[in-house]
């Protein structure tokens, strides 16, 4: 019943668009907010949440742009976001012909998806603390639900705007940024029907990171999940007080089981002198499944117990893959391994290697997750470990057409000396790291990047592209058989998703950290690339690829469509 | 009357000049003391090299700080204290986050890199 309504409404929407009537107002009449919430997954022309659908695949069923005509893509419009501080790291939303974009300093804009012209903007007045802290100035995206746009701020708030007008509906102080080592929000929230979920930064901060559920209508905090388990066996002494954690990347929501899933941050200090945080430090570097109504833990799996390498689980995305009637949750940890879970029970189904160069552990038991042959970093020596902590931690994509998971990977290593730090003395602009990691080429080899097409459950390689310089954008796949990505130089790229053959590129002038999306507007398919190099991780990238230090910054949304 | 007033005014201007120059730019430590330089080196590698400056003053997101004969004492100190803002990148102000002695020690360290290998 819902599907046929969706089809009818979608057809009507296209008819209206073709007739040239005001797209936005027509569609908001056609789809009331409560219906839109249920129909989101069925509207091919929309990108209504961070990873497009609740399955988290970043796959679009649109196919007007396809393998045989992508060479004919041309620029349809460009929108400058205005503030280019730290570049553009977002994945914009597109709902009913409106682009919702968030740029530096939490500036939100609504743009006409066919022309790029601004409909409204909201520039929050941020507390001065945002200029003093470390984790500033980007946001990876906004969320949409019930006719509102939601986002977390650099000064620790959650804000809701009226999606039609941009008017602020509520602003809630969720975390005390000045008092928690500069903790705040830099990722898109998750709209989970009766709650909107915010995962805070950060594992490298002297604080107690949490995941919050807020009432979407009022901004009232309904629940808070402690990523640092309140258990002296997990956190010896008073280590839990400054244990880090948090969940700094967008999580996932399963509307069937009303469960929210997050990958959590690493424990602090990242590098442990040996006695800074006795215990397994649950639930850092873990995947947790929470009851959406209460925030209570349904299950948790700690991918890296007592993490000593900054191999947190707040990475990429949580993808749901269905095969032979069975649903799996696929998650790539910074440690170089991909974990496959039963999403309902949390039972581990498999662990497979994404990275080629891994030496922090000899192996991980694919049935139990047990770490075998761990190389424990020690104080007083220079430790060398692989992989490098600055992997490609933005979102991969899964295509149900090819059955493949696509992921940007970085092959590199790092060295570090462990330094004892006092958490109370770490400045706001600093990190409770416990040492300064330095990037290294792998032993006997040169660091490089690769773009992989893999079986998501077994890790079997279908194809792989090697690059001298890794990519750090999120990925997009479509029913047109295409895979879209963006490199650090500024090339927007399209590949044949089945073979990896590059089919198209366009130089936008500045590199990519965010995620391309695709949508329909004015009766046609568009691909929208957020172009604009920046981000704190780039400081590390320059250690191995010094040319990146001179790449131009930027902040522009570049929309393409067929001639 | 006018002569007295103008002399008083001149004295005030002179006094103000000395007060201003004797302000925040005067080091409170010996910038050439190897102990201060070593402490500044440690403080630099602890606070400045996570994601921004390269270890030992090498290039990162921030510029190369080695062999920088163009960087004067006051400029180094003032930049650490007040931060720096460019359209795409911002260095935070460390005033109030690190104490003044530490900031002078980091200044001493960066000055010591003038003839780095």
What is residue A10's DSSP assignment? H
Q: Which residues of B86-107 are buried (b: 16+ CB within 10 A; e: fewer)?
A: eebbbbbbbbebbeeebbbbbb
Please report residues of B whose CB lies closer than 8 A to that of A133: 92
pLDDT number for residue B14: 58
pLDDT number for residue A515: 98
Please return the burial class of A20, using the count of CB atoms within 10 Å of its CB with bins 0-12, 13-18 and 19+.
exposed
> Does the distance separating the beta carbons of B87 and A84 come in below 8 Å?
yes
Length of chain B: 117
Tokens describing residue A278: 């006795």
- Phi, psi dihedral angles at A224 (to 5 degrees): -140, 125
Residue A399 to residue A61: CA distance in whole angstroms: 10
> Does the distance separating the beta carbons of A428 and B47 come in below 8 Å?
no
Radius of gyration of chain B (CA): 18
pLDDT number for residue A2: 39
DSSP assignment string, A17-39: HHTT--HHHHHHHHS-HHHHHHH
pLDDT above 80 for B13: no
Instruction: Decide if A247 contacts A265 (C-beta within 8 A).
Output: yes
Radius of gyration of chain A (CA): 22
pLDDT number for residue A32: 35
Q: Kindly list the distances between the CA atom of residue B1 and the CA atoms of A233, A406, B4, B9, B14, in Å, as whole numbers in the listed order.
A: 83, 86, 5, 12, 20
The domains located in chain B, with CATH, are 30-115 (1.10.760.10)
Q: In what order do the strands lie in the sheet with A73-80?
A: A73-80, A556-562, A524-531, A517-521
pLDDT number for residue B20: 45
Query: Residue A166 in 3-state DSSP?
Result: coil
Please report residues of A whose CB lies closer than 8 A to that of B54: 542-543
Please report how the helices A23-30 and A2-18 are oriented relative to each other, as an axis angle in degrees rounded to 10.
160
Question: By the CB < 8 Å criterion, does A415 face chain B?
Answer: no
pLDDT number for residue B112: 97
Residue A454 to residue A463: CA distance in whole angstroms: 7
Test mutation, B51, B65, B82, B106, chain A, max A CBs within 10 A? B51
Residue A276 to residue A47: CA distance in whole angstroms: 44
pLDDT number for residue A15: 43
> Does the distance separating the beta carbons of B51 and A86 come in below 8 Å?
no
Instruction: Decide if B102 contacts B43 (C-beta within 8 A).
Output: yes
Please report residues of A whose CB lies closer than 8 A to that of B41: none
Residue A475 to residue A483: CA distance in whole angstroms: 7
> Does the distance separating the beta carbons of B89 and A86 come in below 8 Å?
yes
Neighbouring C-beta atoms of residue A177, cutoff 10 Å: 29
pLDDT number for residue B49: 85
Question: By the CB < 8 Å criterion, does B59 face chain A?
Answer: yes
pLDDT number for residue B15: 54
What mean pLDDT is predicted for residues B31-60? 90
Contacts of A547 (CB under 8 A, 6+ apart): none
Tokens describing residue A203: 């594992």
Question: By the CB < 8 Å criterion, does B83 face chain A?
Answer: yes
Please report residues of A whose CB lies closer than 8 A to that of B62: 539
Residue numbers of chain A with a pLDDT score lower than 50: 1-36, 38-39
pLDDT number for residue A28: 35
pLDDT number for residue A535: 80
pLDDT number for residue A11: 44
Q: Kindly list the distances between the CA atom of residue A306 and the CA atoms of A208, A279, A335, A365, in Å, as whole numbers in the listed order.
A: 16, 7, 13, 17
> Does the distance separating the beta carbons of A549 and B59 come in below 8 Å?
yes
Test mutation, B81, B85, B89, chain A, max A CBs within 10 A? B89
pLDDT number for residue B94: 95
User: Residue B9: which pLDDT band, with cuts at 50, 70 and 90?
Assistant: low
Q: How far is CA A68 from the centre of its chain?
A: 30
Beta strands in A243-369 (DSSP E): 252-254, 259-263, 286-291, 297-302, 318-323, 326-332, 337-341, 348-353, 363-364
Instruction: Decide if A412 contacts A440 (C-beta within 8 A).
Output: yes
pLDDT number for residue B46: 86
H or E segment to which residue A500 belongs: none
> Does the distance separating the beta carbons of B88 and A84 come in below 8 Å?
yes
Angle, CA of A209, A105 and A137, to the nearest 5°: 55
In this predicted complex, what is the ipTM?
Answer: 0.80
DSSP assignment string, B50-91: TTTSPGGG--SSSPP-TT-TT--HHHHHHHHHH-EE-SS-EE
What is residue A396's DSSP assignment? -
Residue A506 to residue A547: CA distance in whole angstroms: 20
């Amino acid at each position: 019943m819902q599907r046929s309504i969706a089809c009818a409404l979608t057809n009507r929407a296209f008819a209206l668009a073709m007739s040239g009537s005001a797209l936005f107002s027509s569609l908001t009449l056609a789809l009331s907010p409560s219906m839109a919430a249920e129909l989101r997954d069925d509207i091919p022309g929309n990108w209504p949440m961070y990873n497009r659908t609740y399955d988290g695949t970043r796959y679009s069923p649109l196919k007007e742009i396809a393998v045989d005509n992508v060479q004919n893509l041309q620029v349809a419009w460009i929108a400058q976001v205005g503030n280019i501080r730290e570049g553009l790291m977002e994945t914009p939303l597109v709902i009913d012909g409106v682009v919702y974009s968030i740029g530096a300093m939490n500036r939100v804009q609504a743009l006409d998806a066919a022309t790029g012209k601004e409909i409204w903007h909201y520039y929050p007045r941020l507390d001065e603390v945002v200029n003093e802290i470390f984790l500033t100035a980007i946001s990876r995206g906004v969320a949409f639900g019930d006719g509102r746009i939601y986002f977390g701020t650099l000064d620790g708030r959650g804000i809701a705007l009226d999606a039609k007008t941009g008017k602020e509906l509520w602003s809630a102080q969720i975390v005390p940024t000045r008092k928690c080592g500069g903790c705040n929000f830099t990722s898109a929230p998750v709209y989970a029907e009766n709650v909107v979920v915010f995962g805070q930064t950060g594992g490298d901060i002297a604080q107690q990171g949490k995941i919050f559920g807020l009432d979407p209508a009022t901004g009232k905090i309904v629940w808070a999940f402690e990523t640092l388990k309140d258990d002296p066996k997990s956190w010896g002494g008073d280590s839990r007080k400054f244990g880090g954690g948090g969940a700094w990347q967008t999580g996932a929501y399963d509307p069937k089981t009303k469960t929210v899933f997050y990958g959590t941050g690493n424990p602090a200090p990242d590098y442990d002198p040996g006695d800074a945080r006795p215990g397994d430090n649950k639930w850092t570097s873990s995947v947790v499944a929470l009851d959406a109504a209460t925030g209570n833990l349904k299950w948790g799996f700690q991918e890296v117990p007592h993490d000593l390498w900054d191999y947190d689980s707040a990475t990429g995305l949580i993808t749901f893959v269905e095969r032979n009637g069975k649903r799996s949750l696929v998650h790539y940890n910074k440690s170089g391994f991909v974990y496959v879970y039963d999403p309902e029970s949390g039972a581990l189904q498999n662990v497979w290697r994404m990275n080629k160069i891994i030496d922090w552990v000899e192996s991980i038991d694919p049935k139990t997750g047990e770490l075998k042959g761990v190389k424990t970093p020690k104080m007083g020596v220079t430790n060398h470990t692989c992989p490098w902590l600055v992997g490609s931690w933005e979102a991969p994509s899964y295509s149900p057409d090819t059955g493949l998971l696509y992921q940007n990977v970085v092959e590199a290593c790092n060295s570090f000396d462990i330094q004892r730090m006092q958490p109370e003395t770490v400045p706001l602009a600093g990190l409770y790291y416990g040492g300064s990691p330095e990037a290294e080429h792998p032993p006997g080899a040169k660091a490089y990047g690769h773009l992989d097409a893999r079986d998501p459950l077994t890790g079997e390689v279908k194809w792989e592209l090697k690059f001298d310089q890794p990519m750090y954008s999120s990925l997009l796949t479509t029913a047109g058989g295409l895979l879209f990505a963006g490199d650090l130089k500024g090339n927007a790229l399209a590949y044949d998703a089945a073979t990896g053959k590059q089919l198209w590129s366009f130089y936008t002038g500045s590199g990519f950290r965010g995620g391309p999306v695709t949508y329909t507007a004015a009766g046609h398919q568009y691909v929208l690339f957020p172009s604009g190099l920046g981000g704190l991780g780039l400081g590390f990238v320059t250690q191995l690829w010094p040319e990146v230090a001179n790449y131009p910054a930027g902040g522009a949304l570049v929309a393409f469509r067929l001639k | 009357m006018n002569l007295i007033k103008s002399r008083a005014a001149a004295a005030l201007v002179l006094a103000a000049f000395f007060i201003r120059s004797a302000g925040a730019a005067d080091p409170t430590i010996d910038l050439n003391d190897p102990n201060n330089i070593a402490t500044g080196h440690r403080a630099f590698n602890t606070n400045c090299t996570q994601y921004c400056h390269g270890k030992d003053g090498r290039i990162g997101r921030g510029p190369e700080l080695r062999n920088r004969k163009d960087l004067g004492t006051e400029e180094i100190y003032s930049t650490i204290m007040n931060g720096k803002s460019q359209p795409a990148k911002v260095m935070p102000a460390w005033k109030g986050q690190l104490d003044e002695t530490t900031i002078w020690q980091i200044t001493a360290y960066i000055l010591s890199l003038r003839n780095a290998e």
